[in-house]
Amino acid sequence: MLRNAFEPWHLILIVAVLVLLFGSKKLPDMARGLGRSMRILKSEAKALKDEGSSSAEAPRPGSASGH
């Protein structure tokens, strides 16, 4: 059903609408802000994943392993 969802003319139309809505001067700033946001999100997700794996490997204090 969505085999050819985005053809080249679709992308050109989307870019044209974005330029009309936001103006050509704001688009680079918006792209830069989006890139920064994605980098921050990626680093936070990696930190959470690393934190989760390190806490799963470390023994918990008060565990009943000495019985």
Residue 36 covered by a domain = yes
Whether residue 3 lies inside any domain: the answer is no
Q: Is residue 14 part of a domain?
A: no
Could you write out the three-class secondary structure of the chain? CCCCCCCHHHHHHHHHHHHHHHCCCHHHHHHHHHHHHHHHHHHHHHHHHHHHHHHHHCCCCCCCCCC
**pTM of this prediction?**
0.51
| Predicted local confidence at residue 32, as pLDDT | 93
According to the model, what pLDDT value does residue 36 have?
Answer: 96
Return d(Cα 53, Cα 56) in angstroms, integer.
5
Domain holding 33, by residue range, is: 24-51
Q: Per the structure, how many domains does the chain have?
A: 1
Contact (CB, 8 A) for 2 and 10: no
**Which pLDDT score is estimated for 53?**
80
What's the pLDDT tens digit per position in 5-63? 778 888 889 888 988 888 888 888 888 999 999 999 999 999 998 888 876 665 556 55
